[in-house]
Structure 1
Amino acid sequence: MSAGALALGLGGMLLSLTLLIWLAYRGWSVLLLAPLCAMLAALVSGEPVLAHWTQTFMSSTGRFLAQFFPLFLLGSLFGKLMEDSGSVDAVARFMIDRLGTRHALVAVVLGGALVTYGGVSLFVAFFVLAPMAQALFRSADIPRRLMPAAIMLGTATFTMSALPGTPALQNAIPMPFFGTTPFAAPGLGVVASLVMAGFGLWWLGRAAAAARRNGEGFVEPDHGGAEDEDRGKSGLVRERATLAQAFDPAEIVNGAAASDYAGPPSPFVALAPLVVVVAMNFVMNVVVFPHIDATYLAEPRWGATTLSAVAGVWGVSVALALGIIVLVALNRGRLGALRESVDAGANASVLPVLSVGSLVGYGAVIAALPAFEVVRDWVLGIGGGPLVSLAVATNLLAGLTGSASGGLTIALDALGGTYMRLAAEHGIDPALLHRVAVMSSGTLDSLPHNGAVVTLLAVCGSTHRESYRDLVVVSIVGALIALAVVIVLGSLFGSF
């Protein structure tokens, strides 16, 4: 293509991305923004607009929905039932009671890690953990401004992107592209988790000690806070939040709490569904699927696919479904409004999956434009090899979109095949690509416009000015350090 056409195409891509970010940050729905901005980029590039809308945008969005809607649906349902049964509250309170005021920071972090690694949605965890953390920080006289960072460290760092087997959506997205499982590169995932958790706890402990020396203690919020349930329905919070995780916060207040029908579950009953999800995820992906005959999947009626392309999603789906069954069986008396809770959980999955799917469709249109070849060549030409270029590309897209899942899917849709080819040429295990890609999606996505950040600050009654600095250190700096460690270890020793 000519230099003029190339410049015009790149300019159109940049303009459309700028508009998408700016308007999404101001609370406009990405369901409308994504196709409009994609068509703007196609128009400026001289490409057929309507063909890109129906054939490129909608086809890519449809593929995303077909692959991942079961995980959105089951994950949201599991999280809502865990909340309404009182199980999330019981698990978090168990950790806090055991560790107590002396270890308030560790209690909040581990409580959040336990429920999210067990499959509870990030936003459900936010709304449950925030009031508990506030009470604990008040007792320990720890500055309230550290609450968002402590909750984020436990819920949206190592349990989202590093711990092997995590049922988080981000950990599932690379599986169809690389033919991997949720347990890809387990040793590297454990190392990365220890780095993230250790660094984050060190920073929070250091910040709390400095505040103590300066005479700074807990101060009650003077605006909203953890008990303000209407914040989940805020249009601005809702639109940003549904791009960040697979749960619509507007459904938090629907259904009925266990306290309306029965007392809270025991820690054993509350933990049982989480254990089932983790255990069955491992059994399905490591024990069952490697030993079954799934050659029938090659038939056209099943999409001419392979077991490796679908096993990861199947495994997580089965694990969540069994977790839901166990949860309902153990807490039927506490779920007096079961139908309302189920409806709320199912409804909570719809807006997030459509929002992220629309972002994926936008990325597909951009990747199909002739000018994108220049961007692709630049990304692949980054020094350091395929692992570094994959990390940079995913970081940038997750940061620009404010969505770990959206940025990751866009990156893999556009470049996944290329990285698989490069992996074969360089002898790189696809499991290592999987772990690097997932961890890269969970770093710069926590920029100020990220929906999880906005929601967490809202439910904690805090602001960016008060709490964002510490949140950046534990969720971005710590994650980048862990990512660098994984890339170095993976380059030296391969996947393990």
Structure 2
Amino acid sequence: MIGLLGLLAGLGLLIWLALRDVNIVFASVLCSLVVIATNALPLADSLSNSYAFGDLGAFTFAGRFFLLFAAGAIFGRLMGDSHAATSIAMALVRRLGAHRALWITVLSCALLTYGGVVVFVVIFAMYPLGLRLLKEADIPKRLFCGAAALGAGTFTLTALPGTPSIHNVIPTLKLGTDLFAGAGLGLFGGAVMLALGMFYLERERVKARAAGEGFVAGPNDVIPDLDAIQKDMPHWALALIPMIVVIGTILAPRLLELAGIGGSSAILQFANSQPVIWPSMALILASVIAVALFPAIRKGGLRLMGNGTQDAIMPLIATSAVIGFGGVVAQTSGFATFTSAVLGADLPPLLSVFTAASAVSGITGSSSGGLQIFMATLADPYLAKGIDPEELHRIVAMASGGFDSLPHCGAVIAMLTITQLTHKQAYKDVGVVTVIVPVVATLLTVGLAMIT
């Protein structure tokens, strides 16, 4: 009983510290010590193995996925500094109108994340342009957080097939699937997320206008002068080429395989056997092409790539630290009791998968952390129940993207820090589009999978 209370206390403390902007790495270590002490786990082994270097350890995760994080951050830095991301967004402005700022933010973030840019970098890249759009349309800044979270942190990360996101890669390592697993289910779930999320955001925009709530800049906000960067901004069609290269490179092996071409090719075999390296190579190839295409970054391309690598460090360490906390939690008797209860519950298998993945992601405050723990501890029992690996891949990925976005989520904290808003000001909108909407969409997808 004390161990279970300690587990809950550690989780509660992690959320409390996150809400108070305490460094997530420090918070994860402190909360891990609480769990270790209350569950009488061996101190040295728990810190060096369970937290740091074990199968679910922080540094094991960081080492396994460093290249993917770095490649995504490099690509994002180049797309931002070349003004290619701004060009794509402004093309949407010209076609949709600045008054549709929320739609433009969602679609721009979605294009960038589906093209391989990591979430943290997308927020950095989109925020300056978002400020200008919000000011012109007189929309509260809190709704930018909701729109960016919907576009960058929901359907493009967990639902849409083919995305090179870490959330779509992790299941492939355990299940032997590819990035397009459960494509039909993913497209359905992604469409539901987008529809429900935009319905909520547009409703909130109308309510805010009726209440007289408009745009208020933060003390450190700098609204960019588009005229000043116009000469360096590539045409939107040219700006799309690196993103097309990313998706095309990832998609090529599957298309060739379906066409019966190059089945014995060493390159094709390599691509199918390297779910982390291949999308990383796609991002690096697209980065090189971006440097060649865009004059604004051509001279300083290597320096910007180095800066992009630096951009990846803190998101990777923050994510890894939360996973380390989850690695400690996974060693407790309370977690063993939870997994036994979920596996033994009288639920349809896919609904049980949703419950387990959602709970683990909620505990860790990280969809990638929840996925990692689920795949290491629960994937085999569910496969033994006869669940199709492709269905398991897609449902688990989508389920991990719901309760992960509770207030202690590192991505949520980073977004609020960047936008200079507090949980009290903006978390309601973020919570609706990143918790409630994905949960509803995943449950509907589970229902679809069960009747087809």
> Which band: TM-score by shorter chain?
0.7 to 0.9
Pair 1:141–1:29, CA change in 2 (3 A): closer
Partner of 1:243: none
Provide Cα deviations, 1:166-207, integer angstroms capped at 9, x if missing partner.
122111121112111111111111111111111122222222
Partner of 1:4: none
Give TM-score scaled by structure 1 length: 0.80
For residues 335 and 138 of structure 2, what CA distance do their matches in structure 1 show? 53
1:332 to partner: Cα distance: 5.2
Provide Cα deviations, 1:48-90, integer angstroms capped at 9, x if missing partner.
3323333443122244234322211211111112112221121
For residues 429 and 31 of structure 2, what CA distance do their matches in structure 1 show? 34
Provide Cα deviations, 1:414-452, integer angstroms capped at 9, x if missing partner.
222222222x3xxx2111111111111211222233333
- The alignment status of 1:220 with 2:183, answered yes or no, reads no
For residues 187 and 338 of structure 2, what CA distance do their matches in structure 1 show? 33
Partner of 1:302: none
For residues 407 and 336 of structure 1, what CA distance do their matches in structure 2 show? 41
State the SS of the aligned residue for 1:291.
coil
- The alignment status of 1:192 with 2:181, answered yes or no, reads no
1:67-216 aligned within 5 A: 67-212=64-209, 214=210, 216=212
For residues 20 and 216 of structure 1, what CA distance do their matches in structure 2 show? 37
Partner of 1:264: 233
- The alignment status of 1:337 with 2:287, answered yes or no, reads no
1:285 to partner: Cα distance: 4.5
Partner of 1:431: 390
Partner of 2:323: 360
Pair 1:59–1:262, CA change in 2 (3 A): farther
5+ residue gaps, structure 1, are: 1-6, 230-258, 298-305
Name which of 336, 340, 349 aligns with 1:386: 349
1:378 to partner: Cα distance: 1.6
Contact kept in structure 1, 2:322 and 2:365, CA below 8 Å? no
Give TM-score scaled by structure 2 length: 0.87
Pair 1:288–1:32, CA change in 2 (3 A): farther
Name which of 350, 372, 377 aligns with 2:335: 372
Contact kept in structure 2, 1:177 and 1:417, CA below 8 Å? no
- The alignment status of 1:291 with 2:268, answered yes or no, reads no
Contact kept in structure 1, 2:128 and 2:223, CA below 8 Å? no
1:278 to partner: Cα distance: 0.9
Pair 1:292–1:16, CA change in 2 (3 A): farther
1:273 to partner: Cα distance: 0.5
Pair 1:224–1:420, CA change in 2 (3 A): farther
Contact kept in structure 1, 2:141 and 2:215, CA below 8 Å? yes
Name which of 408, 421, 437 aligns with 1:449: 408
1:16 to partner: Cα distance: 3.4
Q: Superposition RMSD on alpha carbons, in Å? A: 3.0
1:225 to partner: Cα distance: 5.6
For residues 43 and 213 of structure 2, what CA distance do their matches in structure 1 show? 57
State the SS of the aligned residue for 2:215.
coil
State the SS of the aligned residue for 1:384.
coil
For residues 186 and 412 of structure 1, what CA distance do their matches in structure 2 show? 20
Contact kept in structure 2, 1:90 and 1:267, CA below 8 Å? yes
1:47-66 aligned within 5 A: 47-57=41-51, 58-60=53-55, 61=57, 62-66=59-63
Contact kept in structure 1, 2:116 and 2:165, CA below 8 Å? yes
Identity in percent: 34
Contact kept in structure 2, 1:391 and 1:437, CA below 8 Å? yes
Pair 1:407–1:43, CA change in 2 (3 A): same
Provide Cα deviations, 1:218-260, integer angstroms capped at 9, x if missing partner.
2323x3364399xxxxxxxxxxxxxxxxxxxxxxxxxxxxx89
Contact kept in structure 1, 2:253 and 2:271, CA below 8 Å? no
Contact kept in structure 1, 2:365 and 2:404, CA below 8 Å? yes
1:272 to partner: Cα distance: 0.5
Which residue identity does 2:219 align to in structure 1? Answer: G
State the SS of the aligned residue for 1:349.
helix
For residues 12 and 315 of structure 2, what CA distance do their matches in structure 1 show? 22
Partner of 2:245: 276
Provide Cα deviations, 1:281-301, integer angstroms capped at 9, x if missing partner.
11135536993478xx9xxxx
For residues 131 and 177 of structure 2, what CA distance do their matches in structure 1 show? 40
Partner of 1:252: none
